[in-house]
Amino acid sequence: MRIEENGGESASVNHLIFAYYVTGHGFGHATRVVEVVRNLIAAGHDVHVVTGAPDFVYTSEIQSPRLFLRKLVLDCGAVQADALTVDRLASLQKYSETAVRPRDSILATEVEWLYSIKADLVVSDVVPVACRAAAEAGIRSVCVTNFSWDFIYAEYVMAAGYHHRSIVWQIAEDYSHCEFLIRLPGYCPMPAFRDVIDVPLVVRRLHKSRKEVRKELRIGEDVKLVILNFGGQPAGWKLKEDYLPSGWLCLVCGASDTQELPPNFLKLPKDAYTPDLIAASDCMLGKIGYGTVSEALAYKLPFVFVRRDYFNEEPFLRNMLEFYQSGVEMIRRDLLTGHWKPYLERAISLKPCYEGGINGGEVAAHILQETAIGKNYASDKLSGVRRLRDAIVLGYQLQRVPGRDVSIPEWYTNAENELGLGTGSPTSEMSESNAITEFCTDDFEILHGDLQGLSDTRSFLNSLVELNNVSDSEKNNEKRQMRERKAAAGLFNWEEDIFVTRAPGRLDVMGGIADYSGSLVLQMPIREACHVAVQRNHPSKHRLWKHALARQNAKGQGPMPVLQIVSYGSELSNRGPTFDMDLSDFMEGEQPISYEKANKYFAQDPSQKWAAYVAGTILVLMKELGVRFEDSISMLVSSAVPEGKGVSSSAAVEVASMSAIAAAHGLSISPRELALLCQKVENHIVGAPCGVMDQMTSACGEANKLLAMVCQPAEIIGLVTIPSHIRFWGIDSGIRHSVGGADYGSVRIGAFMGRKIIKATASTRLSQSMSTANGASPDEVDNDGLELLEAEASLDYLCNLSPHRYEALYANLLPQSMLGEVFLEKYVDHGDTVTVIDKKRTYSVTAAAKHPVYENFRVKAFKALLTSASSNEQLTALGELLYQCHYSYSACGLGSDGTDRLVQLVQEMQHGKASRVDDGTLYGAKITGGGSGGTVCVVGRNCLRSSQHILEIQQRYKKATGYLPFIFEGSSPGVGKFGYLKIRRSIAPKS
């Protein structure tokens, strides 16, 4: 509603003017906007649509002089690397170019344009700057959407670098000027909006009946018809006749004019009206988007979908699709190789059951009309963005944390409760009372190993009992049963042996990113752990999933060894819950494939890339130990170690997986060797340049002790018992950490550059000293100095350089930073086998090289202090070393706002009056692991008051950011101490 200078309202209910802004992301937004606009125009109003979509999308449905099209894109949406994968960094960069840099001119232009058309209401789907422009023009604005770009971009920022986070805050700030949100079903968390009105599905109406469409296409009712709908991007795919079951036809949307199709594939015109075609089909094959999902539900069409990676709207639409029994997930590998038959046949057996409204366009248009003439739908609540601030970035992590007891904001709970979704894996959802329930020996008996009193292991075994019962009673037919539970229920032959292993995550107390430079590290295995259950079966007795069976049948070779994995927690992240492969895929002739080929194999489908951590252990055993796997393997992975927190969730999965595989195949591998093998999985198959301390702690650690290890490459020098008066905690910042992230890798490269420069400098000095020494008498030659230079000229690890030598000879010679190309021209290579220098990138050298030199010294001092006499001075010194380490991280560029805030809160607690009265509680804190977010390690006195202060910090952090951090406390044994369990279902239940 436009406000005139005299304070009067200009709008008339008979003739309103709407400015409707449409995002540049795909056609789906344009097609749903069409339905709202059509209803507004039918009510007699003018609608000016600001869009980048082709005219025919609107004019084919609306022929009216009241429709005005203005070609303009004010946000780019998500840039797609291909039809199924979003390029996260490119998306942020493109948005910056489209909407951030020209922002001032955009606002000026849009305000002037809104005045010129005398707009009564601005509607946005879901262009952020439109809301801000409306506010500056004094016009009310409303958003109509199922997601918002602050939520979508939040994870992109975490993955692509925090220097982009201002984009998310700016978008949220723009949305906060919106009057309210008209929210569509299948919605994501949208914290920036103050008020919400829910409407039914917005679905385009049908023009023709199924019979009419089939008649025009000359397709009989007896022909099974699938519509291929990937948003107009299948042009580069090679479609083959045998992709379809016999007697089927496929309608192809968006094929290029030059694309040749097999006779059972029919090319559709680019302007084809897809709702009619969808309703006339028997199922749809495509990627998930609001348009495809809404029309599949509305017309009760089974939808075979392939995950679209890194578009965070998808999990919510996918859950809705599956809830109404309309969805079948296809593995991307099977899509591209043509193994469609089992999925299509499964789809047509479904009975879609959506009975909700499909008149959302009409309902939304009525609300918009009422708003434009002055009806007030909004409350007086404060702007969500101003209350949540950092939570807009951090909030996304809530759906990525399996089974954590966190305070979930209302905006997420609502999205979750609408579909009755859970928030964790079966293991981690167990209540405390369930966790201490005795293992059901009536169902299984333990043939080898000991539970060691670990309640989480008992819970995992009880979850296997539940799966056995699910399989027996066919409870997996319930609509709300998670797909991962259904897959797991049919995974094992319950009459055969199952091997179970457990590997914990770790808290990096000291050492952190200095491990790859040879430092001493001190690591504590945490209470949270990953459990893996493995069973091997002869290929002829292995129960295959339908698509895996179809793939084998197509090869015509008879039963061959297959790997099938189910991973719990997938519903809370953008990954597929299952993975399968023929183990022959790991072979090239008589030899295992290279690690490079394995990396590419798992990278081809990002939604299943997680399987590299699990399946990669098999390839490493093949290559390094010469093991050959002739049986099929079934694996269930259930990890309570949260991802992205810097507590080595990946190492826990690798170590638990490899130890379970080893146990099932009778392999004897020492914990140390196991850790080194698992590091190869992470470095070479996953492609993350981590050191070995994570795997070593998970494999060799013991409860309530710090694993002391010199990483040259992995010499365990002992276990340091944590004194009874000292305690360590981990506090999660909520900022997602990734060891594979660019920041960690660049700091590692900078450290290796520094080492190469130091070696070159030492070599030059040595040559000069030797030349001088040749002309001197023996008494004048400083042999000790020459020996030091010789050692430094062949320096294997930076940590072997003492701080005083570093300061005396090298500190002032290292460049602050260096362009990759310049370094390579002068030094050829940096000597690190797991990272690659980008010629066009500038790397920090001084800070990255200085950190490990001083960190090694700090860790040695920390270890010595731990064994000294108990005193307040001891705790103060330990805390000071943690603080020094934290700020050294920051100097490297590996800090984050969240972890800095937590360290500051510890300092405030340490120096507060209450702590001084209590003789001290908390003494120091530092960022851990790879940095750039993750978890903070805190050292303090082991007393009740310290724990209370930790909880107080937790609440203060939540008040400041909106995010309640998870607290890691307690310790548990590594896999070497735990061993393995061998269990088998009892043949006859005991009385």
Q: How far apart are CA 467 and CA 108, in angstroms?
A: 61
Dihedral angle of Cα 344, 345, 351, 355, to the nearest 10 degrees: 10
Cα R_g (the chain), whole angstroms: 31
How buried is residue 545: exposed, middle or buried, by Cβ count under 10 Å (0-12/13-18/19+)?
Answer: middle
Tokens of 425: 């894996």
476 within 8 A of 651, measured Cβ to Cβ: no
Q: How far apart are CA 443 and CA 467, in angstroms?
A: 11
954 within 8 A of 909, measured Cβ to Cβ: no
Q: How far apart are CA 276 and CA 298, in angstroms?
A: 12
Question: How many other CB atoms are found less than 10 A from the CB of residue 775?
Answer: 7
Q: Nearest to residue 599, comparing CAs of 613, 589, 587, 588?
A: 613
Q: Which residues are bridge partners to 197 per DSSP? A: 182
Q: Nearest to residue 798, comparing CAs of 852, 762, 843?
A: 852
Q: How far apart are CA 144 and CA 394, in angstroms?
A: 24
Tokens of 857: 């010294």
Written as one string, the DSSP assignment of 395-410 is GGGGGGSTT------H
Secondary element (H or E) of residue 566: strand 562-567
Length of the chain: 991
Tokens of 842: 């500038």
694 has catalytic annotation = yes
968 within 8 A of 730, measured Cβ to Cβ: yes
Tokens of 215: 């008649």
How buried is residue 958: exposed, middle or buried, by Cβ count under 10 Å (0-12/13-18/19+)?
Answer: middle
Residue type, 940: G
Residue 182: which residues within 8 A CB-CB, separation 6 or more?
142, 143, 144, 145, 197, 199, 364, 367, 368
Q: Nearest to residue 312, comparing CAs of 12, 581, 575, 129?
A: 575
Q: Nearest to residue 961, comparing CAs of 389, 399, 401, 171?
A: 389
Report CA-CA distances (Å) from 921 to 863, 911, 974: 20, 10, 29
506 within 8 A of 647, measured Cβ to Cβ: yes
Sheet order of strands, 196-198 included: 67-71, 46-51, 17-22, 121-125, 141-145, 180-183, 196-198
Helix (H, G, I), strand (E, B) or coil at 987: coil
636 within 8 A of 656, measured Cβ to Cβ: no
**Cα 581–chain centre separation:** 23
Q: At what angle do helices 944-961 and 897-911 cross, to 10 degrees?
A: 140
Helix (H, G, I), strand (E, B) or coil at 704: coil
From the candidates 443, 694, 732, 832, give the one annotated as an active-site residue.
694
Residue 363: which residues within 8 A CB-CB, separation 6 or more?
199, 200, 357
Secondary element (H or E) of residue 890: helix 872-892
Residue 277: which residues within 8 A CB-CB, separation 6 or more?
213, 227, 251, 253, 268
Secondary element (H or E) of residue 306: strand 303-306
Q: How far apart are CA 726 and CA 730, in angstroms?
A: 14
Tokens of 594: 């290279």
Active-site positions read 694
